[in-house]
Structure formats: C-alpha cells, structure tokens
Amino acid sequence: MELTYQDYLTILKEIKQQIDFEPEIGVVLGTGLGNFANEIQVEKVIPYSQLSKMPKPTNSNHSGEFIFGYLNGIKVVLMKGRIHYYEGYSTQTCVVPIRLLGMLKIKTLILTNAAGGVNFSFTPGDFMMIEDHISAFVPSPLRGTNIEEFGTRFPDMSNIYDAELTQKIYQRGKELNLPMQKGVYLQFPGPQFESKAEIKAFRGLGADAVGMSTVIEAIASNHMNIKTVGISFISNLACGMSKRKITDEEVIEEAKTSEKNLITILKEAIQISHDK
C-alpha cells in the first residue's frame, strides 16, 4: 500500500519534533560513499527506523538514516542509505525519502551512486556527471494516483539534471585534476549485475554508465521542482568489458580507494549549488 499525503505529513511531523532545521541542500550517498557523513558538523541523526511508515533499507551497506548538519556553514541533509527497487519495494516506496527531503524545503538535490562503466573510454575511479538518464525495465515512481501537493500529473523531464549546475561542477572537477566525465546513466532493476548482452544493448541505447538506483529518485525530485544534480562514481567496468567477475566487494573497495577524490567533488558540488 502506497503512502498518502497525510502519511507524509505524519513522518514530516516526526522529523520536525526531533530537529527544527531547514536544509538548503540534500545529498543521497550511494553504495560505498557513506563516509562523507564524517565531513559535516552533525546536528542530528534520525534513523529511518524511528519514523512511522518509513521504508527501511535491507542492503547492509546502506544504514538508513537522515543526517542533518553543516558543511562550511551550509545547511545540508544527507540521506545515508537509499531504498532500492531490487529490495522488493515499489518504485513509489523507493522515493519516499526523496519526497521527504522535498517537504523539508531543500532547494537542490545531489544524487550520487556507484556505477558500472559502459563507455569504453571510462576507467574505474572516474566521476561521471549525469547529463540524462534511461530507465530500463524500472516502472516510473509517478505511476498510480498523483499527489497534487507534490507536482503535476505529467511533469516535464527535459532538464532532469540541471545543465548549468552540472557543467559548473564538471568544470570545477577538471580544474582540480579530478577524473571527470559526462554521460547518460541507465537504471537497471537488479539485484543481479547485468549480462554481457544487456550491457551491449544498453551501450547501443546510448548509456555510458549503469546502476540500480538514481533514475526514479531524479524523476520524483523533478516532479517536486527540486533542482537536481547526479554524480556517478565509476567503480568498475560493466560486464563483458574485462575478464574480471563483478562483485559488490569490488565496488566498495574501489570507492575506498577513491574516497579522497569523492569527498572533494561532493564538497565542491555542495558549495557550487549554494553559490549558484
């Protein structure tokens, strides 16, 4: 059963009872990227488990909590632990945390993920600014009854990832000599990694990176008219592009190796979003 608008108001009230805080920027921390939470001055941590009707992550690498605090004086809220479609939730349920960030009045949402590189010019450790996306076999989170308080029934998706912010972050990363790329991200249902034939097909569709999140979150964010930015950390080459088998452990280890660069680009993205 999907949440009603009244359900969302109930959860929002529970959050506000714990902290009176209006964040400017929301950040979703992808697989292996949770240590960024150590970079902010924390004001309050609210586990999803403390909120009624709030979905809980089942992936052990996603703790499931909102972290409120400051980064260089900027009010931020981190989403440490996202809800994935492969966990058995509907896509509407997967975006409940995104809806709540919107109700907390964030002005910009920064989505991060660990992704497999589909583009042959990519290498593990790269950062891809998402310019557009493709949803492959993943239903829209806007299916069903539209909650008018969130947005229109048929929202435009022509500038899903804000082009101006995306370019500024990309350029700043290049100035800092970070391995920056641009491209199209494709969300696949998972939880199995993609097959060689699927990767070949996705490349033909125009995908540069593939993962199991982000697209539905960006759709929900745009539905609520939140300025959105997407950053994919290329943790591995996709199936069939190397002789190595893909494992979740490989994704985590590559994220640890590139942690310093990741922290740098996220800090820059938050500052640029604030200064826009």
Mean pLDDT (the chain, rounded): 94
Q: What is the mean pLDDT of residues 197-225?
A: 97
Lowest mean pLDDT, pick from 108-112, 226-230, 255-259: 255-259
Q: What is the mean pLDDT of residues 119-138?
A: 96
| CATH number assigned to the domain comprising residue 82 | 3.40.50.1580
The pLDDT value recorded for residue 254 is 77
Q: What percent of the chain has pLDDT over 70?
A: 98
Look at phi and psi of residue 268 and say left if phi exceeds 0, alpha if psi is from -120 to 50, else beta.
alpha
Q: Which of 12, 5, 1 is nearest to 148 (CA)?
A: 5
Q: Tell me the one-letter amino acid at 22.
A: E
Which has more confidence, 218 or 53?
218
The pLDDT value recorded for residue 246 is 79
Q: How confident is the model at residue 194 (pLDDT cuts 50, 70, 90)?
A: very high
The pLDDT value recorded for residue 1 is 65
Q: What is the mean pLDDT of residues 88-110?
A: 97
Rounded Cα–Cα distance for residues 264 and 75 (Å): 18
Rounded Cα–Cα distance for residues 215 and 143 (Å): 14
Q: How confident is the model at residue 60 (pLDDT cuts 50, 70, 90)?
A: low
Which has more confidence, 78 or 250?
78
Structure tokens that stand for 261 in this block: 């660069």
The pLDDT value recorded for residue 162 is 98
Enter the pTM of the model.
0.95
Residue 255 has pLDDT above 80, yes or no: no
> E strands, the chain, where?
25-29, 41-47, 65-71, 74-80, 108-117, 127-135, 180-187, 209-211, 227-237
The pLDDT value recorded for residue 61 is 66
Please answer whether residues 233 and 253 qualify as being in contact, where contact means their C-beta atoms are separated by less than 8 angstroms.
Answer: no
Q: Which domain holds residue 178?
A: 5-275
The pLDDT value recorded for residue 58 is 82
Please answer whether residues 223 and 99 qualify as being in contact, where contact means their C-beta atoms are separated by less than 8 angstroms.
Answer: no
CA dihedral 41, 44, 49, 50 (to 10 degrees): 180
Token look-up 């604030």 returns 274
Residue 101 has pLDDT above 70, yes or no: yes
Instruction: Count how many domains the chain has.
Output: 1
